[in-house]
Structures are given as structure tokens and as C-alpha cells.
């Protein structure tokens, strides 16, 4: 208890945190003074050894990890609870959303999903001139970045080519803010070549938007649709994800004698423990926390039975290389066909296990597989199924090496392609690579241009110039994936936390 008290005191008196940031960390510490939801011995031991991981979500899951409200509900019916009338003008619609966002919880306390903005706002745009629309969106964007400063907050647009989507892309490229994150849903049969070209030019400008393969995702979900939130998690609208638990494939591989032992014994054992970890947390959320008595359920923004369990894997590269060594094979993940086939076999094996394992209080009774992008405390492991930082082959080889995995990762596969800045003079190349990736079965296309000020670190956005302020040596870095690998170092470098952060990435105070 003395330790706890001094940690609380450290937070309360910290010279670098704002009062709101202090309140956030204090609440995390208080939550973690509660006992953990009941776990059996084997699951508790695997969690303790971090072979499986709860993303440090906290001891008392009193809200789902990710909530994706159907915002069309509040825009079409208003809200009794929030005393909001039905909006009739664009200003009223934007104002209603601005209010709504502050009542949407998530693991970080910030909304991770702010809606399919073009679908939501287009009905209010009749009679609004292009210039008015531009000025209103610009103010809206500034508001979002300044009042909800979390880089995991995510807006979606597309697949149609429309005024709102175009205006958002224009404003996003002009302002180059870290928040909100943005995804364009691309459908070759619906989206125009023009708007895809604008989106890829934006990537060259500011490493946003993320581009999603809409037909592939749409087929995975139902008619209510899906949203892409936070760091590329694909989840049902009017629901979300109760929890995300993940398996460290490297740690599993280290515990196996050889490849056969890995598939026959060790991997199935830890996969099961990761299911149990999720179940225990979901049980608390559904049966103890009273979360679903919220007005969000009562008014129909979300539905209790539309929350999935995200089933994450990471450190695929290290797992494959570990098994290759145990089998005395030389080739490494990302380059060698045998190693790549082994990686694919692992993805297929885990996907099969997820498909076969029923889960209670989970959308469609099954978890959804996710390639998990990492936390700042991950050391010596590569996010998800990515090829290790700094060793990635050229973008074409890179995409071809990983494309076959994509069909298995229904709740998202966080993949980042890094381009050197020569692509600035040739955005057409980016456009073609995006089309090529989708033709190969990629679910999503995320790109960084090495010299952009605004870059992704494991998946959320930071401004390099912010980092540079705190360490002159950082100015010479050009490969942003290296920055990602060293996310923990970066946080150390930032003596004062930036105003806009990715809260999800940090397990707690002092980490």
C-alpha cells in the first residue's frame, strides 16, 4: 500500500502532466487496486509471464475496449438523455456529434470512433456551398484535435466519391494534425479513381488516410456495417470490442521443442489460455460492471450483443525465426519462402482455432482474429505479423510476402509500408501499389512517407517536429519504422508529454 500511495503522490505532483492527464493516471491506479477478475492458475501464470497479454486494460473492465456507436441514431432521433433535439442543419448536426463524442467511452476514456462522417453529414449538406462546407469542416477538425487529443480517435469516409469526403481529405492535408486518424474505405466498383488519387496524394502529404479494402471488410460483417477505429481495428458498428487479449507468438515458440511440438502442444495450450483470459474479462464487463445499463444501449446507439472479442497475435516474425532455428533452417521471415510458409501456417492454425472456439457474450459467438500492433513496453518483438523494422524488402516484395495472411485477420491487420521520399515526385506509383495490394487480397493499406513530419509510430500518428524539439539527434532519422520500434525510447525523450498522445499505447503512469 505504501508503494501505491507514493505512486499516487508522484502522479498528483508530477510537473509535466496536465490535471486531466493526472486524473487519467490516478483512475488507472485506483482501478488496479481492485482484484483482477477470477483466472484459473494456468491462465494467471501465462499472463504473469506475458505469454498472453491483456494490453494492461486494467483490473476492472467497467467499459468495453472499443465502442462504435451508430451515430445516425442521435442524428435522426436526437437524445432524451442528453436533451438533444433532432438536428436539422449542418451546424446542428456537427454540434450534436461534438456533444455525442464526449459520452462515448473506450479503454482510454476518449472516443476511438467518431463515425462514418460523410454518410452522417451528407444529408445535412443540401444548400450548403462548397466554401461553407470547407470552413465548417475545418473548424470541426480543429475542435477534434484540440479537445479530444488522442491519436487513436478515428474517422471513416468513403467508399463513394462525395463532397464531404473530398472536403475532409482537403482539410486533413492542410492541417496535418495528429488527430483524428482517418480511414478511406475503397471499393473499386464504387470509388472513383479520382478520389483514390486524392487519398494517395494525401498519404504523400501527411501519411494519412489509411485505406481499407471495403468489399473484403463488408463481406466479413453484416448490413449494419463496420467501422475502422483506433489503430486499424475493424469492428461492428453499433457495437465494438469488449476486450483485446493477445498471444506473444515468440514466447510460445521459445517454449516449444521444435515445430511439431509448437503446433501439437504448446500453441494450442496458450491459445486456449488466451481465450480464458478474454472470457474472464468479458464476464466482468457483462455481468458485474453494469455498463450495459447505459443510455447508449437504451437509446439504441449500441447493442449489447454486437460486441466482439478481439483475439490478437504479435511477434510472428520472431516466432518463425525461433522455429526456423530450432529446425536448423536458415531463412528468415519476410524473405525466405519456407519461413514465409511457416508464418502462413501459423496464421491459418490460429484462425482455425478462433473459428472453432465458442465464446459467451461475444458477437456471433466467436472472437475475431487481429494482428496486434504493439505497445510501448514491447521490447525485442515485431508488431503483429509484420516484417521486422529496418529489414523490410521493397514495397512490392513486402506486400507479396504478407498478402496471403490477410484473409485470416477479420478484425484488422496493422501493417505499415514505408516509402522513401522520392515518391513525392510520383504519387501515381503510390496509387498503383495501393491497387496492387488490394488486388492481392490486402485488407488495408497503410503507408508512411519517410520524410513526412506526421508519421505513424506502430499505428498512431506523431509529429516528428514535436519529437525533434526534445532531442536534436532525432532530426537525422529518416526511417519512421525505426521510430516505431523505439516508441518506448521516444516517450522517454519526450520529457513533457505532448498535448496529443496515443493513450492506448501506454499501459500506465511511468511506463
Partner 1 sequence: MNSTPGTVSKILNYSCVDGPGNRLVVFLQGCNFNCQACHNPHTIGQCNHCGDCIPACHVDALSMVDGRVVFDPEHCDQCDACLDACPIDANPMVSDHTVADILALLHKHKPFLNGITVSGGEPTQQLKFVIDLFAAIKAAPELQEITCFIDSNGHLGASGWEKLLPVTDGVMLDIKAFSQQLHGAMTGKSNHRSLRSAQILRAAGKLHEIRFLLVPGKTDTDEELNQLAEFLGELGDDVQLRLNAFQHHGVRDAARQWEKMSEEGVSLAAERLRAAGISNVVTPAVYV
Binding residues for partner 1 (CB under 8 A): 394-397, 399-400, 419-426, 428-433, 435-437, 439-440, 451
- 3-state DSSP of 260-306: HHHHHHHHHHHHHHHHHHHHHHHHHHHHCCCHHHCHHHHCCCCCHHH
Separation between Cα atoms, residue 147 and residue 179, nearest integer Å? 10
Q: Report yes or no: 349 and 387 within 8 Å, Cβ to Cβ.
A: no
Residue (94 or 173) nearer to partner 1, CB: 173
Residue (197 or 254) nearer to partner 1, CB: 197
Separation between Cα atoms, residue 312 and residue 247, nearest integer Å? 6
Residue (155 or 403) nearer to partner 1, CB: 403
Nearest approach in angstroms of CB 481 to partner 1 is: 16
Instruction: Give the β-pairing of 460-463 and 454-457.
Output: antiparallel
Nearest approach in angstroms of CB 112 to partner 1 is: 32
Residue (319 or 403) nearer to partner 1, CB: 403
Residue (300 or 436) nearer to partner 1, CB: 436
Separation between Cα atoms, residue 303 and residue 382, nearest integer Å? 35
Phi and psi dihedrals of 498, rounded to 5?
-65, 160
Nearest approach in angstroms of CB 330 to partner 1 is: 12
Nearest approach in angstroms of CB 328 to partner 1 is: 18
Residue (148 or 434) nearer to partner 1, CB: 434
Residue (151 or 449) nearer to partner 1, CB: 449
Separation between Cα atoms, residue 435 and residue 213, nearest integer Å? 10
Nearest approach in angstroms of CB 58 to partner 1 is: 43
Closest among 130, 62, 124 to 97, alpha carbons compared? 124
**Cis omega before residue 451 (within 30°)?**
no
Long-range contacts of 421-427 (CB under 8 A, 24+ apart): 421/449, 421/450, 421/451, 421/478, 423/204, 423/449, 424/204, 424/449, 424/451, 427/197, 427/200, 427/201, 427/204
Residue (178 or 207) nearer to partner 1, CB: 207
Nearest approach in angstroms of CB 393 to partner 1 is: 9
Nearest approach in angstroms of CB 430 to partner 1 is: 8
| DSSP code per residue over 427-451 | HHHHHHHHHHHHHTT-SEE-EEETT
Complete edge-to-edge strand list for the sheet that includes strand 210-213? 113-116, 154-157, 181-186, 210-213, 444-445
C-alpha cell, 319: 516466432
Residue (182 or 434) nearer to partner 1, CB: 434
Q: Report yes or no: 206 and 213 within 8 Å, Cβ to Cβ.
A: no
Nearest approach in angstroms of CB 441 to partner 1 is: 10
Nearest approach in angstroms of CB 451 to partner 1 is: 8
* Distance from the Cα of residue 105 to its chain's centroid: 16
Q: Which residues contact 291 (CB under 8 A, 6 or more apart)?
A: 62, 63, 64, 285
Q: Tell me, what DSSP letter sits at residue 38?
A: P
Residue (123 or 393) nearer to partner 1, CB: 393
Separation between Cα atoms, residue 212 and residue 413, nearest integer Å? 11
Nearest approach in angstroms of CB 198 to partner 1 is: 16
Nearest approach in angstroms of CB 434 to partner 1 is: 9
Please report, in angstroms and rounded to a whole number, the separation of the first and last CA atoms in the chain.
Answer: 19
Residue (429 or 493) nearer to partner 1, CB: 429
Q: Can you tell me whether residue 86 is helix, strand or coil? A: coil
Amino acid at each position: 500500500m505504501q508503494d501505491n500511495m507514493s505512486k499516487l503522490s508522484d502522479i498528483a505532483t508530477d510537473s509535466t502532466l496536465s490535471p486531466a492527464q493526472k486524473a487519467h493516471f490516478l483512475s488507472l491506479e485506483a482501478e488496479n487496486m481492485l482484484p483482477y477478475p477470477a483466472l484459473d492458475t494456468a491462465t494467471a501464470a501465462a499472463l504473469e509471464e506475458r505469454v498472453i497479454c491483456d494490453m494492461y486494460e486494467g483490473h476492472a473492465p467497467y467499459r468495453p475496449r472499443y465502442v462504435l456507436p451508430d451515430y445516425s441514431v442521435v442524428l435522426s432521433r436526437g437524445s432524451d438523455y442528453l436533451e438533444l433535439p433532432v438536428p436539422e442543419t449542418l451546424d446542428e448536426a456537427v454540434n450534436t456529434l461534438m456533444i455525442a463524442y464526449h459520452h462515448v467511452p473506450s479503454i482510454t476514456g476518449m472516443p476511438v470512433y467518431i463515425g462514418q462522417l460523410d454518410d452522417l453529414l451528407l444529408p445535412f449538406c443540401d444548400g450548403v456551398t462548397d466554401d461553407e462546407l470547407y470552413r465548417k469542416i475545418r473548424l470541426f477538425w480543429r475542435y477534434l484535435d484540440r479537445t479530444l487529443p488522442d491519436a487513436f480517435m478515428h474517422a471513416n469516409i468513403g467508399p463513394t466519391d462525395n463532397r464531404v469526403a473530398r472536403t475532409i481529405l482537403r482539410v486533413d492535408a492542410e492541417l496535418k494534425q495528429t488527430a483524428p486518424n482517418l480511414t478511406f474505405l475503397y471499393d473499386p466498383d464504387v470509388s472513383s479513381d479520382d478520389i483514390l488519387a486524392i487519398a494517395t496524394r494525401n498519404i504523400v502529404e501527411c501519411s494519412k488516410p489509411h485505406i481499407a479494402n471495403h468489399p473484403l471488410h463488408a463481406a466479413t460483417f453484416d448490413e449494419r456495417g463496420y467501422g475502422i477505429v483506433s489503430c486499424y481495428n475493424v469492428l461492428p458498428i453499433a457495437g465494438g470490442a469488449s476486450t483485446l487479449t493477445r498471444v506473444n507468438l515468440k514466447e510460445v515458440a521459445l517454449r516449444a521443442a521444435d515445430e511439431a511440438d509448437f503446433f501439437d502442444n504448446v500453441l494450442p495450450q496458450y491459445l486456449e489460455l488466451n481465450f480464458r483470459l478474454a472470457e474472464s474479462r468479458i464476464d466482468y464487463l457483462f455481468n458485474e460492471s453494469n455498463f450495459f445499463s447505459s443510455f447508449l444501449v437504451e437509446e439504441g446507439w449500441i447493442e449489447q450483443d454486437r460486441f466482439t472479442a478481439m483475439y490478437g497475435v504479435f511477434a510472428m516474425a520472431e516466432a518463425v525465426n525461433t522455429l526456423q532455428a530450432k529446425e536448423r533452417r536458415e531463412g528468415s521471415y519476410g524473405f525466405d519462402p519456407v519461413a514465409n510458409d511457416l508464418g502462413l501456417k501459423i496464421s491459418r492454425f490460429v484462425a482455425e482455432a478462433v473459428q472453432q472456439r465458442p465464446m459467451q457474450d461475444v458477437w456471433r459467438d466467436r472472437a475475431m482474429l487481429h494482428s496486434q500492433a504493439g505497445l510501448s513496453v514491447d521490447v525485442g518483438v515485431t508488431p503483429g505479423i509484420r516484417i521486422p523494422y529496418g529489414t523490410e524488402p521493397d514495397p512490392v516484395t513486402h506486400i507479396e510476402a504478407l498478402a496471403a495472411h490477410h484473409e485470416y485477420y477479420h478484425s484488422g491487420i496493422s501493417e505499415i509500408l514505408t516509402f522513401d521520399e522520392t515518391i513525392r515526385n510520383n504519387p501515381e506509383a503510390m496509387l498503383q501499389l495501393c491497387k496492387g495490394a488490394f488486388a492481392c487480397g490486402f485488407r488495408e493499406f497503410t503507408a508512411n512517407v519517410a520524410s513526412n513530419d506526421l508519421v505513424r509510430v506502430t499505428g498512431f500518428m506523431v509529429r516528428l517536429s514535436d519529437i525533434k524539439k526534445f532531442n536534436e539527434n532525432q532530426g537525422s532519422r529518416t526511417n519512421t519504422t525505426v521510430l516505431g520500434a523505439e516508441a518506448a525510447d521516444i516517450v522517454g525523450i519526450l520529457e513533457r508529454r505532448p498535448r496529443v498522445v496515443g493513450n492506448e499505447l501506454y499501459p500506465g503512469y511511468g511506463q
